[in-house]
Chain A
Amino acid sequence: GAVVSQHPSWVICKSGTSVKIECRSLDFQATTMFWYRQFPKQSLMLMATSNEGSKATYEQGVEKDKFLINHASLTLSTLTVTSAHPEDSSFYICSARLLAGGNGDTQYFGPGTRLTVL
């Protein structure tokens, strides 16, 4: 259980194009999903918290107009990188929050999307 999928797993695009990444919780409903970015040899940095049916909450320094997040259902959140540039090249990982009662919350991660902007 607690499987999260991401699509696509990798994408190469030209500078200036927009790229959409999907994150799905396959066997549970997730009212909250998270989007992270990881540059080489660095840790995961939270970009935004995606809440089903409401606006996403962005971390400081993350441009909400550049990284559009939509969480239209309890199993799907999408991240669109608009007008991508080479500096946006990174590993984008989503996670879905599973409420686990006494054990506290646990996040399960998707396999990630490697974005390369030429």
Chain B
Amino acid sequence: RKEVEQDPGPFNVPEGATVAFNCTYSNSASQSFFWYRQDCRKEPKLLMSVYSSGNEDGRFTAQLNRASQYISLLIRDSKLSDSATYLCVVTSGTYKYIFGTGTRLKVLA
């Protein structure tokens, strides 16, 4: 079993739609969780950290479920510019990042 698993997609959604991604992780000792966004042939950029209480940043909401060992990302009112690959990141040990394979999102006009 992979340490961090994501549905690779692609998720094709119309503009304005709400879309949600899940990510599961195997190491129950993981402490920090993040969502990164990666555009084609570019480096990952931090989208948001994920806190136990859940957190929201504009149209983006992240949730953490430690009991079931998954994190989620919800995007409301999708824009064309949201098209990208969304990478789930879980820390191993104190600071090592473990990346999921990413979920591709295509927002269609």
**B-contacting residues of A (Cβ < 8 Å)?**
32, 34, 42-46, 49, 91, 93, 95, 97, 103-112, 114
Contact = CB atoms under 8 A, between A and B. Distances in A.
A46 B3 CA distance: 13
A107 B97 CA distance: 8
A32 B99 contact: no
Contact of A42 (B31, B43, B94, B101): B101
26 contacts: A42-B101, A43-B99, A43-B101, A43-B102, A44-B44, A44-B87, A46-B98, A93-B44, A95-B97, A103-B49, A104-B31, A104-B49, A104-B91, A105-B32, A105-B91, A105-B95, A106-B34, A106-B49, A107-B97, A110-B43, A111-B42, A111-B43, A112-B41, A112-B42, A112-B43, A114-B41
B42 A43 contact: no
A106 B46 CA distance: 9
Interface residues of B, number: 21
B45 A109 contact: yes
A42 B102 CA distance: 8
B44 to A, nearest CB: 5
Contacts of A108: 46
Interface of B: 31-32, 34, 41-46, 49, 87, 91, 94-102
Task: Give chain A's interface secondary structure class.
Answer: strand
Nearest to A106: B46
Nearest to A59: B96
Nearest to B102: A43
Contact of B99 (A44, A103, A110): A44
B22 to A, nearest CB: 16
**Top 7 closest pairs, chain A to chain B, by CB:** A109-B43, A43-B101, A104-B32, A43-B99, A44-B99, A105-B95, A112-B43
Nearest to A45: B99
B45 to A, nearest CB: 7
